[in-house]
Amino acid sequence: MIARSRERGSRSWQRCVAFTCAMVVCFFSVNTHAMTRVGLWGAPSAVVQQLRSTQPQIDWQAEPLGADTQLHIAWHADAYDRLLTAEKREPILLLISSLTQRNLARAHDSALLWGPPLLQQVRLARRVMPLAKRVGVIARQGLDREAQLSQARHLETLAAGVRSEGITLVPLLLTPPISARALAEASEQVDIFVATNDEVLFNRDTAKLILLTAYRHQKALIGPSPAFVSAGAVATMAVPKLALIAELIARVERWQKTGRLGEPLTVDQFQPLLNPQVARSLGLYLTPDLLREAQP
Amino acid sequence: MNADSASGWIKVYLATWVSCSSLSLSADELGFDGNQVAIPTVISAARLTQSVLDTPASITVIDRAMIRALGTRELPDILRLVPGMVVGRESGSEAFVGYHGTSADGARRMQVLVDGRSIYEAALARVDWIGLPLDVEDIERIEVVRGPNSATYGANSFFAVVNIITRNVQEVPNAELLVRAGDDHIRDGFARLSLHGLGGDWAWSVFHREDTGFDINARKKTPFKDDKVVDGGYGKGQYTTVNDGLLTLSAGFSRMVAEQARRNDTSIYRELPVATLETGYVGVHWDQPLNSQHRLNLKANINTLSRDEPWYVRIPYLVVSPELTALFAQDKSLANRFADDPVMTCASPDFVTNARLRAVCLRLADRNYTDLRNYTTNQDYREQRVEVEVSDLWLPLPSLRVVLGANLSQSQASSVNFLNGDAENRVSSGFGHAEWRLSDQWLLNVGAAAERDDQSGENFSPRVALSWQLKPNQVLRAIHSRAVRTPDIAESQFDAHYYATTDDRSQRAYDGVFFQSAKADGNAKTERIRSNELSYFAQYQSLPISLDVRLFRDELDLTRNQLEIDDLIISGYEYYLMRGAEVSTEWRPSSFQRVQLNYAYLRVNRPSDRGNENTDFVPTHSGSAIWAWYDPNGWRGSLAYGFYNNLNKDLFFDRLDAHVGHVLRVSEKQTLDLGLTAQVRLTRDAELRRDNGVDSPQRIWASVGWRY
C-alpha cells in the first residue's frame, strides 16, 4: 500500500517535473519565435558579433537563407542591389555614405547615411594642413543636368561659407573613372584634396590610383571614408563605430515598434580619423588637439 | 523599454565595449583589402619606401614641379640644386657632375641610376650625362643620397647615389610636342605619345637637342668648335599583374654626335675629331606582392654603348714606325724627346750611346719616313652590360622591415685602342637592409653588401644609422658607413695602342702603330671610404621650413689613376681626409612657392700641398639659392643662383638662371606652354677647364609646347 502510494507520488512528481520542463521549453520556444530576425548583408563578421552581443534580444543573422527574416540590413550599396535582385519583399535598411548618387528603390526601404558633410571635411583639411589656402574638392562630372546643377549650387554655397576662413574652395570636376592624368593636372591647382561622398568616384577599384597619384605630387587627400584612411588617405571625418551601431539598433527598435523604418537618417556624430603614418610621410604635423580629438 | 531608453542602455554598453575596439569602420569592413598604399616618399636610400625622416642617409629630392619651374633643358643643370654637388661642363658634349667633386674624370665615385638601373659605364667608369637616352621632360623626380651607399647599391656608390625616376606613364599627356630655340644655336625638339592599350599603359618619347657648346678657347682667344647633336628615344610600358603587382618594360636609345673641342689645339688633325656615341638599353622590372609579408622585386636589363671617334691625321711614317716604337719600349723619355724635337735629340750625346736612337735618327734622311701622309686611327670602344637582380621585401614584424637580395652583372668591353682587344668583368653581390623601429623615437637602419668582383676580389660594405626622433618632425641621425670603388675595366686591363692606317691603300706598307703605348700592370687598387656623419633634419610645420644639416668626416684611400697613353699613372693608395658641412633649407610660403638655400663647406687634407685630379674640382665653398613659383592659373617661374670657388685651383664659377612660363588652355583638352629661360654668367672665369670660354655671358632660349 505504502509502496503503491510512494510509486504514485513518484509518478506525480515526475509528471510535475516533465510538465514544468515542457512549459519551460514551450516558453523559450515561444519566446524564440517572438524574436525579430534581422538579416545582415555584406556586414563583416566582427560587426555581426558586436550586434549580437550588444542587442541580444534581436536575432541578428548574417546573410540568412530562410524566408523568416523580417528586416534586412544592407551594409553597402552592392548588398542592397543583391537583395533587390533576390526579390526580397521585407524592408531594407541601407548603410551608405550618401544618397546623392542613388535612390532607394522602394518606398518602405530606408537608409542610414554615414558620409561626412563636405564642410566638415574641408575644415578638417585646413586643420591637417593649416597653411592650405586652395582646397580642391573632387566631385563628379557627367551627372544628369539636375544633379549637376544641384552639386554646383552646393559647392558654391560651401565656397562662400569658407571664404571668410581664408579658404579658396576649388571644385575639381572629374569624369569617372578618375584618371591619373586628370588628377595630376588637378594637383597643380590646389594645396590639398578633399574627396566627396561619391562611391562612383571613390571606391575600392580607384583607391590605389587616386592615392598614389596624389602622393606622387605630394598632395594629401582627405578621404571620403575610413576605408580610404586605412588605404592611405591622411584623414577623414568619420562616424565612430559606437555611434553607428547605436543608431542602427535604434532604427531597428523603432521599426519593431512602429513597423516603419522612417525617412533616411544622417548620422551627425563625427570625429576625425587620422593616418599619422601618412601625415608624417607627407611632412604634415598633426597638432596635439587634433590627435586628442581623434582618440576613441 | 522604449526606444530612447534602449539606445541609452546600448550606448553605455558600447562605451565599455568600444574601449577595446577600433574607432570606426575599417577598410575591410567597407570592402577594401585593408593594405595601405606605399607612399612614394623616397626609395633610394635603402630600397625601401621611407619618409625622409627615416632614411639612413641625407637625401635631396628634386621633384617635377621644381624641374618645370627651372626650365632647364639638360639634366646636369638640375643637379646644381644639390648641396655639395659640383656641376660643370667639360665641353659642350660632356658634363662633369661629382658630389664633393673629387673625380676629375667622369663620375667615377658616384653611382647613377635611372629607375634603379645603373647607367655607370663599366669600361671607363663614367656617366654620359648629355647623351643619356632620356629627356628632362621624361623625369618625374631625382633623389640624391648624399653619402656612401655601397651597402645598398654595391661598389661605386662611393660618395653619393643619384636616382633618376622617370614619369609615370599614366600621368603624362596623351600627346605632347615641344620645341626650343635660342642662343648658341639651341634647336631642341621633344615629342611624346601615350596610350592605354595592349593590356597596359604606354608612353613613347623622342627628342633632339643641339647647340654649339663653348665658343672660344679662353686661354688662346681662338674660336672653339664644340657643337653637339643628340637624338634619342625612350619608351615605357606598365602592366598591372595579379594582387596589385606591376610589370614595367622600358627601352631607350640615343645617338650623340659631338665635336671634340679638346683636340682643337693639336696640329696633326686634318679635321676636328667628331665622336659618335650610341647608347641603348632594354629593361624589365617586376614588382610583385606575394603575400602580406613578402614582396618580390625582379629586375633585368641589358645596356649597350659604343663610341666611334675616328681621327684623320697627317703625320710622317716615322712616328708609327717599328724603329721609334722600339726606342719607346727601351726609353720612353728619349722617344718622347725625339718626337718633340728630332734634330736636337739626334744631336744629343744619347745618339752615341743608344743604338735604337741612332736607328731612328738615320731614318730622318729617308723621305719615306719623314713625308707627311694621311692616316686614319680611332679612339673607338664598345661596351655591354647585362644585369639581373632579385630582392624580397620582408615584413616579419610591424616594427621591422627587411630587404634581402642578390645582383649579378656581366660587363664586356671591346677596344683596340684602350684594351688591345676585349676584356670582361663579372660582379656578383648579395645585399641586405633592415629598418627596425626600436621605439616611437628610435629607429635603427642596418645594411650591408658583400660583393665579388672578378677583377678586384671581394669587398664588404656595411652601414649603420641610428635615428632619434626629437619631435614628430625632427630627427637627429648618426651614421657610419663604408664603401668601395672598384677599378673599372680600363684601369685594370688598360693596354693602349693607336693603330694607324694610310688613307691611300696603295701605301699600306706604311701602316703602323703609334710609337707610344701603355699597359696597366693589373694592380689597380680598390678605393675605400670610411664615413661618419651626424645629421639633423626637421620640417617645421608652423613656418613652414625644412632644414637639413649634414656634418661629415670621410677618411679616404684614393688612387690617382690617369689613363693617358703618354702619361699612364696607376697609383697606390693615397690618404685623404675630407671634412665639411652642408646646410639645405627650404621655405614654402605656400604650396606654389619655394625658396631654397643650399650651402656646402668642404675641407680636404691631401697627401701633398699640390693639387691633383682628386682635388682639382673640390670647392671650399659652394651653394645655390632658388626661388621657384608655380601659379595654379598656369604661370610658373624661377630665379636661381649657384656658385663654386677654387675649381681647378682658382676658378670661380657663378651663374644666375631665370625662367618664366605660362600654360594657356586653348580648348578643353589642349594646352599651349610658352617658356623663356636665361642663364647668365656673372663672372668671366672659364668654366671648369681653362679653355672653356664663351663669347657672351648669357644664353637665352624660348620654348613652345602643345599638350593634348
**Closest-CA residue in chain B for A78?**
B31
Of B27, B40, B244, the CB nearest to A230: B27
Do B273 and B309 meet the contact criterion of CB atoms below 8 Å apart? Answer: yes
Q: What is the mean pLDDT of chain B?
A: 88
* CB contacts, 8 Å: A277 with chain B: 36
**Which class for A95: exposed (0-12), middle (13-18), buried (19 or more C-beta within 10 A)?**
buried
Provide the pLDDT for residue B223: 80
Provide the pLDDT for residue B2: 42
**Closest-CA residue in chain A for B172?**
A181
Provide the pLDDT for residue B357: 92
Tell me the average pLDDT across B6-15. 36
Q: Residue A216 and residue B13: Cβ atoms within 8 Å?
A: no
Q: Residue A283 and residue B546: Cβ atoms within 8 Å?
A: yes
Q: What share of chain A in percent tops pLDDT 90?
A: 48
Residue B292: count of CB within 10 angstroms of its CB: 10
* CB contacts, 8 Å: A131 with chain B: 544, 588, 590-591
* CA B290/CA A78 separation, integer angstroms: 28
Q: What share of chain B in percent tops pLDDT 70?
A: 93
Of A190, A238, A242, the CB nearest to B14: A242
Tell me the average pLDDT across B534-559. 91
CA distance B198 to chain A (A): 18
Q: Residue A230 and residue B13: Cβ atoms within 8 Å?
A: no
Tell me the average pLDDT across A98-111. 84
Work out how many CB contacts closer than 8 A connect A with B.
Answer: 178
Given a cut of 80, whether residue B104 has pLDDT beyond it is: no
Q: Residue B632 and residue A188: Cβ atoms within 8 Å?
A: yes
pLDDT-derived band at B36 (thresholds 50, 70, 90) equals: low
* CB contacts, 8 Å: A216 with chain B: 40, 140, 168, 171
Q: Residue B37 and residue A273: Cβ atoms within 8 Å?
A: no
Given a cut of 60, whether residue B542 has pLDDT beyond it is: yes
Provide the pLDDT for residue B286: 97
Q: Which of A19-28, A254-263, B238-247, B261-270 has the lowest mean pLDDT?
A: A19-28
Q: Which of B1-5, B99-103, B291-295 has the lowest mean pLDDT?
A: B1-5
Provide the pLDDT for residue B35: 55
The position carrying cell 606591376 is: B246
**Closest-CA residue in chain A for B66?**
A217
Q: Residue B3 and residue A253: Cβ atoms within 8 Å?
A: yes
Q: What share of chain B in percent tops pLDDT 90?
A: 65
CA distance B30 to chain A (A): 6
**Closest-CA residue in chain B for A295?**
B23
pLDDT-derived band at B9 (thresholds 50, 70, 90) equals: very low
Q: Residue B13 and residue A54: Cβ atoms within 8 Å?
A: yes
**Which class for B666: exposed (0-12), middle (13-18), buried (19 or more C-beta within 10 A)?**
exposed
CA distance B433 to chain A (A): 20
**Closest-CA residue in chain A for B174?**
A181
**Closest-CA residue in chain B for A95?**
B30
CA distance B659 to chain A (A): 18
CA distance B618 to chain A (A): 33
Tell me the average pLDDT across B456-462. 94
Given a cut of 80, whether residue B547 has pLDDT beyond it is: yes
How do residues B307-362 score in pLDDT, each as one tens digit?
999 999 999 999 999 999 999 999 999 999 998 899 999 999 998 999 999 999 99
Higher pLDDT, B687 or B33: B687
Do B574 and B595 meet the contact criterion of CB atoms below 8 Å apart? Answer: no
* CB contacts, 8 Å: B27 with chain A: 226-227, 230-231
pLDDT-derived band at A104 (thresholds 50, 70, 90) equals: confident
Provide the pLDDT for residue B609: 62
The sign of the CA dihedral B490, B493, B495, B501 is negative
Alpha helices per DSSP H over B412-493 = 416-419, 489-493
Do A175 and B164 meet the contact criterion of CB atoms below 8 Å apart? Answer: no
**Closest-CA residue in chain A for B32?**
A204
pLDDT-derived band at B271 (thresholds 50, 70, 90) equals: confident
Q: What is the pTM of this model?
A: 0.85
* CB contacts, 8 Å: A239 with chain B: 24
Q: Residue A209 and residue B34: Cβ atoms within 8 Å?
A: no
Tell me the average pLDDT across B248-252. 96
Given a cut of 50, whether residue A26 has pLDDT beyond it is: no
Q: Residue B541 and residue A284: Cβ atoms within 8 Å?
A: yes
* CA B674/CA B190 separation, integer angstroms: 14
Higher pLDDT, B226 or B499: B499
Provide the pLDDT for residue B34: 46
Higher pLDDT, B692 or A15: B692
Helix (H) or strand (E) holding B70: helix B64-70
Given a cut of 90, whether residue B242 has pLDDT beyond it is: no
pLDDT-derived band at B633 (thresholds 50, 70, 90) equals: confident
* CA A56/CA B9 separation, integer angstroms: 13
CA distance B391 to chain A (A): 23
ipTM: 0.78
Q: Residue B6 and residue A249: Cβ atoms within 8 Å?
A: yes
Q: Residue A273 and residue B24: Cβ atoms within 8 Å?
A: yes
Give the closest residue to B274 by CA, choosing from B289, B262, B263, B258: B258
Provide the pLDDT for residue B651: 86
CA distance B596 to chain A (A): 17
* CB contacts, 8 Å: A212 with chain B: 37-38, 40
CA distance B63 to chain A (A): 8
Distance of CA B466 to the CA centre of its chain: 28
* CA B433/CA B392 separation, integer angstroms: 11
Given a cut of 70, whether residue B13 has pLDDT beyond it is: no
Q: What is the mean pLDDT of chain A?
A: 86
Give the closest residue to B699 by CA, choosing from B167, B74, B194, B257: B74
Provide the pLDDT for residue B19: 32
Provide the pLDDT for residue B136: 95
Given a cut of 80, whether residue A58 has pLDDT beyond it is: yes
Best B39, B170, B441 residue to mutate vs chain A (most A CBs within 10 Å): B39
Q: Residue B31 and residue A78: Cβ atoms within 8 Å?
A: yes
Of B25, B63, B539, the CB nearest to A226: B25
Provide the pLDDT for residue B45: 87
CA distance A16 to chain B (A): 34
Q: Residue A191 and residue B590: Cβ atoms within 8 Å?
A: yes
**Closest-CA residue in chain A for B540?**
A285
Tell me the average pLDDT across B8-37. 40
Do B289 and B243 meet the contact criterion of CB atoms below 8 Å apart? Answer: yes
Of A215, A250, A275, the CB nearest to B7: A250
Provide the pLDDT for residue A34: 61
**Closest-CA residue in chain B for A76?**
B30
* CA B480/CA B68 separation, integer angstroms: 36
* CA B473/CA A283 separation, integer angstroms: 7
pLDDT-derived band at B26 (thresholds 50, 70, 90) equals: very low
* CB contacts, 8 Å: A133 with chain B: 590-591
How do residues A119-178 score in pLDDT, each as one tens digit?
999 999 999 998 889 999 999 998 888 889 999 999 999 999 999 999 999 999 999 989
Of B26, B38, B544, the CB nearest to A230: B26
Strands (E), B400-439: 400-415, 421-437
Given a cut of 50, whether residue B668 has pLDDT beyond it is: yes
Of A43, A213, A240, the CB nearest to B23: A240
Given a cut of 50, whether residue A179 has pLDDT beyond it is: yes
Provide the pLDDT for residue A20: 56
How do residues B374-409 score in pLDDT, each as one tens digit?
999 998 999 999 999 999 999 999 899 999 999 999
Provide the pLDDT for residue B25: 44
Given a cut of 60, whether residue B522 has pLDDT beyond it is: yes
* CA B124/CA B113 separation, integer angstroms: 17
Best B37, B194, B630 residue to mutate vs chain A (most A CBs within 10 Å): B37
**Closest-CA residue in chain A for B471?**
A285
